[in-house]
Amino acid sequence: MPTKYLFFTGGVVSSVGKGVTAAAIGLLLKERGFKVVVQKLDPYINVDPGTMSPYQHGEVFVLDDGAETDLDLGHYERFIDIRLSRASNFTTGQVYAEVISKERRGDYLGGTIQVIPHITNEIKRRIGLVAKASGAEIVLVEIGGTVGDIESQPFLEALRQMRTEVGRDNTFFVHVTWMPYIGAAGELKTKPTQHSVAELRSIGISPNMIIARSDQPIGQELLDKIALFCDVEKKAVIPMETTPVLYEVPLLLEKAGVGDYLVEKLNLNATITPNWSEWEHLVSNVRKPKPTLGIALVGKYVELHDAYMSVRESLKHAALALGTEIEIEWLHATDLEKGRGWELLKNANGIIVPGGFGSRGIEGKIQAAKYARENKVPYLGLCLGMQLMCVEFARNILGYEDANSTEFDRTTTHPVIDLMIEQRAITDMGGTMRLGLYPCVLKKGTKASLAYQFPQVEERHRHRFEFNNAYRNEYESAGMIFSGISPDNKLVEISELSDHPFMVGSQFHPEFLSRPNRPHPLFLSFVKAAAHRAGTPINDE
């Protein structure tokens, strides 16, 4: 079978769930026995989102190979339960960097370098690359942004060319749009969808399917209208009302016939009938009323929940497995510094300090760690959260008042968290951290090893600073256990307190490997500890 390509474009506005739609459709195809891969094309000029503010971009999702990618890759991995590679995300910045470096090398033999064909060729080359590297039968490609944006034009042009080059039978365009609701008229409107399809057609692309997103139920007459005006088969106009249950999206699309339609139109030879019982079970569990657990997340970018997307999802996965529901209390670390938000922190049954960079809010996070330690509140520290748990321990248990990470205080007399030697000479910010999958050996009998039930694991990293080994013995004598260590014994990967129900910090980011049906062991143990503290009965007891 020739490789099949599904292209996802967005119309009207952004943030309508194009990434989730692509992920869910990927699952529909995987469930029919196909090997799929997903790729996100981001039309911005940054080389990758690694150096972008989470306020601008949300979370940076890290892959096994250390690629720092768009948060949609997290949706793809979680829904389809796959592990993606660097080839699955590229930006305008990467495309231009490649073309310009080829031009400097003289590869174009004096030619004039232009958007068409040089930039579009590079875009097509990269789409081909992910197809080849993954060996997938079906490649799903999502284009970031909205049709009509100037910066996405070269991408759409490349896709238009691909349609002719790999053949119409092998390509399929899904356009995800938004239907606004006009309160005064009490009506949903199709006009913006019509306009965005017109825009798409003006560059030579006719969508094969329209997924109409809306906050209200969409009547058949509106769907028929879209079909008529946008020149799409009636069966291929799919209503997609907003659902509070994210993981229901694949089931809704399946019910709307999307999977079967794709099989028919792409001439796919589906070998397996999808079995949705696991997902149906998951969704019915989400819908069941459950006791709620309050977890405080003490962060820096808390106004934008997308900045902590994978942490939030991992908490949901763990809670679901245990038959509880998590209510996250989003706390600004700087508020704690000013004496605000403490009531909320104190009411929480667990505290999470997630990853972060830069000094804003650091002292507030250290105070939260101190509170968790002293009051025996379950605590999970993710990367920076682990580092600050160690700083707090040095200050208040070892008595080193000015202990700190050299990221925040270069002149501290007790640099308990410090730069790795290899990192010291690096001046570039982009892609220069310890990134991606590294092994971690677990110490028997610890909370970490009890959680994992494996002697060795591999987890994804994204950090520059490390626990300073000069202090290891002192910490251990005072009650800290380094329960996860790199196999060469050089790097602390997990630290935990002996005299505490659950105070665990990991130098890596467990949140990138949690799955809806397979919660991450550290999150599971953390939520269990929180339920225990709250006296909430949970499933496994």
The half-sphere exposure of 235 on its side-chain side, counting CA atoms within 13 A, is 10
| 519 binding ligand GLN? (CB under 6 A) | no
Q: Does 463 bind ligand GLN (CB under 6 A)?
A: yes
**Binders of ligand GLN in range 362-391 (CB under 6 A):** 383-384
Determine which residue in the list 102, 225, 360, 464 makes contact with ligand GLN, applying CB under 6 A: 464
**Is 276 or 330 the residue whose CB approaches ligand GLN more closely?**
330
Check residue 465 for interaction with ligand GLN (CB under 6 A). Answer: yes
d(CA 169, CA 127): 17
Binding piece for ligand GLN, criterion CB under 6 A, among 33-41, 80-88, 116-124, 461-469: 461-469
Question: Cα-Cα-Cα-Cα dihedral of 96, 101, 105, 107, to 10°?
Answer: -30
12 forms part of the interface with ligand GLN (CB under 6 A): no
Residue 160 sits in the site that holds ligand GLN (CB under 6 A): no
Min. distance of Cβ 465 from ligand GLN in angstroms? 3
Q: Which two tokens stand for residue 500?
A: 């505490």
Q: Point out the catalytic residue in the list 57, 317, 509, 520.
A: 509
Which span (163-171, 282-290, 424-432, 456-464) binds ligand GLN, by CB under 6 A?
456-464
Minimum Å gap between C-beta 505 and ligand GLN is 11
Q: Amino acid letter at 474?
A: E
Does the annotation count 75 as an active-site position? no
CB-wise, 462 or 500, nearer to ligand GLN? 462
- CB of 27 or CB of 503, closer to ligand GLN: 503
- C-beta closer to ligand GLN: residue 195 or 360: 360
What is the spatial distance between Cα 131 and Cα 87, in angstroms, rounded to a whole number? 9
What is the closest distance, in whole angstroms, from the C-beta atom of residue 384 to ligand GLN in the complex? 3
**361: burial class by Cβ within 10 Å (0-12, 13-18, 19+)?**
buried
Rounded Cα distance between 146 and 285, Å, is 34
Catalytic residue among 157, 248, 383, 466: 383
CB of 471 to ligand GLN, least distance (A): 16
Rounded CA separation 170/85 (Å): 23
- Name the H helices within 288-361: 309-322, 333-337, 342-347
For the bound state, the minimum distance from the C-beta of residue 511 to ligand GLN, rounded and expressed in Å, comes to 11
In the three-class reduction of DSSP (H, G, I as helix; E, B as strand; rest coil), residue 26 is classed as helix
Of the chain, the end-to-end C-alpha distance in Å amounts to: 49
Q: In what order do the strands lie in the sheet with 237-241?
A: 89-91, 36-42, 138-143, 4-10, 171-178, 209-214, 237-241
Using CA atoms, how far apart are residues 19 and 270, in angstroms rounded to an integer?
Answer: 24
Between 222 and 435, whose beta carbon lies closer to ligand GLN? Answer: 435
Please name which of 237, 184, 218, 380 lies closest in space to residue 297, comparing C-alpha atoms.
Answer: 380
Residue in the shown chain whose Cβ atom is closest to ligand GLN: 355
Tell whether residue 356 is a contact of ligand GLN (CB under 6 A).
yes
Q: Compare residues 76 and 512 and give the one whose CB is closer to ligand GLN.
A: 512
CA–CA dist 386, 511 (Å, integer): 14
Q: Which one among 355, 361, 378, 436 touches ligand GLN, defined by CB under 6 A?
A: 355
Residue 462 touching ligand GLN (CB under 6 A): yes
Q: How many residues bind ligand GLN (CB under 6 A)?
A: 10
- Write out the DSSP string of 161-212: HHHHHH-GGGEEEEEEEE--EETTTTEE--HHHHHHHHHHHHTT---SEEEE
Contacting range for ligand GLN; rule: CB under 6 A; set: 122-130, 150-158, 301-309, 458-466: 458-466
Q: Are 295 and 327 in contact (CB under 8 A)?
A: yes
Catalytic-residue membership of 440: no
Among residues 99, 162, 178, the alpha carbon closest in space to that of 128 is found at 162
Closest among 97, 116, 99, 103 to 45, alpha carbons compared:
97
407 contacts ligand GLN (rule: CB under 6 A): yes
Residue list 84-123, contact with ligand GLN (CB under 6 A): none
Could you tell me the smallest distance in angstroms from the CB atom of residue 356 to ligand GLN?
Answer: 5
Residue 52 is a binding residue for ligand GLN (CB under 6 A) = no
Q: Which of 149, 357, 406, 409 binds ligand GLN (CB under 6 A)?
A: 357
In one-letter notation, the amino acid at residue 164 is T
Q: Smallest distance, Å, CB 429 to ligand GLN?
A: 11
- Tell me, yes or no, if 230 is annotated catalytic: no
Instruction: Identify the CA nearest to 134 among candidates 64, 66, 84, 96.
Output: 84
Nearer to ligand GLN, 138 or 298 (CB): 298
Chain residues in the site for ligand GLN (CB under 6 A): 355-357, 383-384, 407, 462-465
| Catalytic (active-site) positions | 383, 509, 511
